[in-house]
Amino acid sequence: MSPKTTTPSLHKVIMVGSGGVGKSALTLQFMYDEFVEDYEPTKADSYRKKVVLDGEEVQIDILDTAGQEDYAAIRDNYFRSGEGFLCVFSITESDSFQATQEFREQILRVKGDQSVPFVLVGNKSDLEDRRKVSKEDAENRAAEWGVPYVETSAKTRTNVDKVFFDLMREIRVRKDVEGGDKDAPNKHKKRKKLKCSIL
Amino acid sequence: MSGAPLVTGMSPKEGPPGTKVTIRGERLGKSQSDLIGLDICGVNCLLTSEWVSPNKILARTLLCKTKGDIVVITRSGGVGASTVQFRGYLEASVGPTKESPVWVDETVSVGPRPLSMTAYQQEDPLQISVEGNDKKFPVEELLELFPEGSGNLRSENFVPAWFLLENHHATSFDDLKLGLNFLGRKVGSQTEGKLSFLKENISSVIDQLDALIALKEKCDKYRTKHGSSFVAQIDDAIGVSEREAGKLFQGVLAKKDRADMTRNALNGYQRFKFLFSLPGTMEKSIQKEEFDQAINDYSRAKALFEQPETDKPIFRKFQKEVETRAYKLRETLRNKLVEKPPKIEEQRAILDYLMTLQCDYDPAWVCLACHFEFLTNSMKNCFQQFSSMDSQNANTAKTPSKQDHQNALPNQVVFVENLCELFSTYFPDFWHLSQDYFGGKLPVKPNLSKQAEMKKMMISTVQLFGTLVTSCLLPSGSANTDEFEWQEKASESMSEWLQHCLGFIKDTYTDFLSLDPPKEMIEILRNLLFQIRCYSLEIMLHQLSTEVADLYKQETWSSEPMGDHGFVTPLPAKFETVIINASKVIKETLLQKYNEERPLLNNEEVKNRMREGMGNALSAFADSLELLISQNRGVSQFHSSQKSSMTLPLKDGGLRSGLPTSQTASLLLILNNCSYTKVVILPQIYKALVKLGYPDMSEAVEKARIAINGVENLTFAKYTEMKYEPVVGQIEQSMNAGRFDWEKCGEPVGVRPYITKTILGMIEVIAEVTAVSEKLVTTVMTQVIESVCEELTRLFSCIAKFSENGAMQATLDMAAFQDAVSGFLVGNSINLVNETFSLIPRSKEMLRSSRRIQHLLDEHRSKTKMQYQCLISSNTTKL
Ligand SMILES: Nc1nc2c(ncn2[C@@H]2O[C@H](COP(=O)(O)OP(=O)(O)OP(=O)(O)O)[C@@H](O)[C@H]2O)c(=O)[nH]1
Ligand SMILES: [Mg+2]
């Protein structure tokens, strides 16, 4: 934290979605170009690396959260620190699509912001033959929320970079808009927190 | 520092001591040994690390209590950095009775101090009630706000703000102020009251002093007693406790591992549930012959057993169970594979199964061997069954469905039919299977070295077929083994069935050809067919001979004029028809209609045998004609009494049909038939045979001609003998009639009756011969007249003495005779007539001078003018 001036701007992305939809798979594919076949439920994983976003070097911080209900209680805390959300479901599982509704609500409640950067992601698009969630349904929901909808495959890497970069752009735009008093983000935060706690 | 390790990912990012973590990043070392340092939150965790790849390390956290970097140190890259952090925390509930995967620092959590700390904590230093302060401030944010701080009052890095935010963020400012005052008072009382504190507790201070002195004394005593090993003992004790602690730690780790194992086992059980029920389901499938199902299950199980997770005794046990079922399945399939009679489609399926089951032998070969054995044995059995059966039993043993039409068939035919059916049904399967095997069309990898053996099996099968048929149909001795011998051969009746059998074999042969087998095998069947055809040719020719020889039975003696040949009966024409029809049949069945068979007639030996057979058949006609002659004798005796009532045929009419004619007439017809046959029929037959494509049969025709010539001569001799005997025989008798004496007789009054009778007899012969064949008249008459002349010469030479009148009479008689037959007198008969004249004294002068003789002669001539005309005309028409 010491050489603050040279540190590129940091965008905090949070992966949300039901268990087994491929949040970790997307993250690992994005981070390390690898695809993990085995399913190992996540608790909370943290990743951070430098990427070049439209010619600008930035840092992306990815918090891969647990989809499993067992860990639902600790989500609130994590969501608070997120700047953008990739809300993932699996196109092969209707339940996971259903669950995006709850995730969306929880995020809005914690963030208190209707226009928080958010992308609805339909993963496992390589399993077209097992599709359970139609593209129309997903697009309709995205339109209703006013967010983009992208179909990805962590297995084939289709659209993996796209969802992360698209989200980072949204985050950047948001920051620029809010950037009135960008000079002291800490202060800004503190104030916000204070407000929260008082309320 | 591009070579330095960089950690960019942590999974999970927080947890209590003992958490298994996955560290990801770049350049995390080249191997386990390259990894020489791993600090998580400042705690060295190298011991628990497991290097996976330059991008991935697994580790277990140790006693990490704060948030901190993950530092990877490698020999190759040096000290690394991290973009992510790990936060270690202690689970608050860890107590002396609670198991923990890590060594719990009692200085913090257990023992007297924490106890007092909890008491202390309950007692807020600000003495402010925390009631209503239920909304907790998130630890997360505190950590972020005070990354280096702590809310623990006893901690060195205690940050009051943390404490306040954590415990009193809902407390009002006034309350806080009151709390501060309280705290200030408390601190003040502590500092100013040191002396009063001593005063208050003087007794206990003195007690403590005493205790300290006692302790010092004890220590001194101990030191004098045990020397300076005071510390050493402690050292030992520490060592012991360290070991014990290690053991405890190991035990705890082991327990955790066991728990993990149990969980894994349960997961495994869930995953491999199907394996445990597999032996049972396989057993059922096998019993129900649902091999597909069983094999699918087995393959699935096999794939599972190959996974490393299943390398456990329990699985091995089940694998064994499954393998026994698989073994049983293999056995069942093998038994089914060699089931007889083999069913090819089923076998193919079974081969597939067996290959998936990975049997350790070559199932296709077993299958082929089974086919071979089955086919060979069934053919042999078939032979044994029919060959040793006598004809009565044969019918009962036949398949019921065919019984009706087989009832009349001889055993041999039924055998050949059955054998052909066996061969045609099972050989193609055998053949196709072997082709597919070596062509790699079966799921089995072919063993090409077995090709020769296969060929041997094939050939021996075909050979067996040939041998069995040969020994059944052909005369014994033609089969090249005596292993198979047909017990009773009904060879007589067999000949008519031979064609029938040949048909079956030909069909089999055609079927066989369609398999496109190698030349070698075709040759075996071709040979067989060739032999049978040769044999049937012989038999047919033989039959033809018999038939021709029996033709005489069909002679009706009804005759038709046939141009120059005079009257002939239909017998020669029948002969021709029989021969030509038979030749056609032979051609059709044996010489023509071959399907890549060897043409019979290319073989010289066959040609010769054919010529010989045909010669025999043709000359059999001569035998038939000859038989007619001898038979004729019987007929003539029977009819001799009616002889007088016989009407001679008119020149333009036929013999009345159906009526046996006189013996001599039938002899004449035979003669005509002979010459007609020679001149017309035989050349026609010859031509017809050439036209039918037979080889040159001139030899055979010649043989027949010679035979017929023989018969002709015989007939002729017989006929003439028959003719002149009555004529010649009566001469002597009538000459001496009325005790005529040449010495004492009176003057002649006319030609004596013995001469007229003789002439009449001759005319009768001429008439008869002419009616049948004018051509024969001269030949016959020359013979007859010669005999008559001979007789006359003999009789006159016997007369001892002529009187004048006698001589005159004799001269007259002879002159009349000479006159009548002058047209037929040739060579020998002229001499004989002259000799007779010379026997009569003065006959020449008398002929020349005696007016009486001239007168009587003229008288005789005019009287016998008609008869005379007969003799002349028949002679002149001939000439
Ligand atoms: N075919 C296919 N499989 C995928 C894809 N993404 C993930 N998976 C598989 O789905 C399973 C679950 O993937 P994870 O990424 O571990 O799921 P998760 O969303 O992180 O689940 P939690 O951590 O429990 O929330 C794994 O076996 C992956 O291999 C994909 O795009 N296509
Ligand atoms: Mg995950």
SS (H, E, C) B187-222: HHHHHHCHHHHHHHCHHHHHHHHHHHHHHHHHHHHH
Residue B254: C-alpha distances to residues B250, B258, B260 (Å): 6, 6, 10
Q: What is the pLDDT of residue B403?
A: 44
Establish whether residue A168 lines the binding site of ligand 1, counting it when its CB lies within 6 angstroms of any ligand atom: no
Q: What is the pLDDT of residue B229?
A: 65
Instruction: Give the residue, by CA position, lying nearest to ligand 1 atom 21.
Output: A20
Inter-chain touch A46–B84, beta carbons under 8 Å:
yes
Establish whether residue A37 lines the binding site of ligand 1, counting it when its CB lies within 6 angstroms of any ligand atom: yes
Residue A118: C-alpha distances to residues A30, A84, A178, B436 (Å): 17, 6, 17, 64
Residues of chain B with pLDDT under 70: 1-2, 92-123, 129-136, 189-194, 227-230, 309-310, 389-408, 476-496, 591-598, 601, 631-662, 772-773, 870, 872-879
Residue A64: C-alpha distances to residues A10, A61, A148, B871 (Å): 16, 10, 20, 151
Nearest to B420 by CA among B340, B494, B528: B528
CA distance A197 to chain B (A): 8
DSSP B516: -
Nearest to B12 by CA among B23, B3, B1, B4: B23
Chain centre distance of CA A127: 22
Residue B437: C-alpha distances to residues A88, B302, B355, B361 (Å): 56, 27, 13, 14
- Which ligand 1 atom sits nearest the alpha carbon of residue A35? 29
Establish whether residue A153 lines the binding site of ligand 1, counting it when its CB lies within 6 angstroms of any ligand atom: yes
Inter-chain touch B13–A45, beta carbons under 8 Å:
yes
CB atoms under 10 Å from CB of B671, counted, come to: 29
Residue A190 has pLDDT above 60, yes or no: no
Nearest to B463 by CA among B400, B517, B535, B409: B517
Nearest to B492 by CA among B544, B547, B528, B539: B539
Q: What residues of chain B have any CB closer than 8 angstroms to a CB in chain A?
A: 8-15, 24, 55, 83-85, 137-138, 140-141, 147, 169
How far is the C-alpha of B601 from the C-alpha of B820, rounded, in Å? 62
Residue A81: its chain B contacts at CB < 8 A?
Answer: 140
Q: What is the pLDDT of residue B483?
A: 63
| Of A43, A48, A59, Cβ closest to residue B12 | A43
3-state secondary structure B4-48: CCEEEEEECCEECCCCEEEEEEECCCCCCCCEEEEEECCEECHHH
Q: What is the pLDDT of residue A197?
A: 41
| Of B11, B12, B83, Cβ closest to residue A49 | B83
DSSP B164: H
Using CB atoms within 10 A of its CB, is residue A180 exposed (0-12), middle (13-18) or buried (19+)? Answer: exposed
pTM of the model: 0.46
Q: What is the mean pLDDT of chain A?
A: 85
Kindly give the distance from the C-alpha atom of residue A144 to the centroid of ligand 2, in angstroms, as a whole number.
27
Residue A59: its chain B contacts at CB < 8 A?
Answer: 83
How far is the C-alpha of B139 from the C-alpha of B579, rounded, in Å? 127
| Of A1, A45, A77, Cβ closest to residue B11 | A45
Q: What is the pLDDT of residue B746?
A: 76
- Higher pLDDT residue, B501 or A137? A137
Report CA torsion sign: B636, B638, B644, B649.
negative
Q: What is the pLDDT of residue B480?
A: 53
| Of A1, A32, A48, Cβ closest to residue B55 | A32
Q: How confident is the model over B805-854, as pLDDT tens digits?
A: 888 888 888 888 887 777 777 778 888 888 888 888 777 777 777 777 88
* Complex ipTM value: 0.85
- If you search the block for the tokens 């415990």, which residue do you land on? B167
Q: What is the pLDDT of residue B639?
A: 36
Nearest to B659 by CA among B673, B679, B676, B645: B645
- Residues, CB-to-ion distance under 5 Å, ligand 2: A 23-24, 42
How far is the C-alpha of B792 from the C-alpha of B786, rounded, in Å? 10
Using CB atoms within 10 A of its CB, is residue B120 exposed (0-12), middle (13-18) or buried (19+)? Answer: middle
Establish whether residue A24 lines the binding site of ligand 1, counting it when its CB lies within 6 angstroms of any ligand atom: yes
How far is the C-alpha of A90 from the C-alpha of A122, rounded, in Å? 6
Inter-chain touch A44–B140, beta carbons under 8 Å:
no
Element (H, E) at B825: none
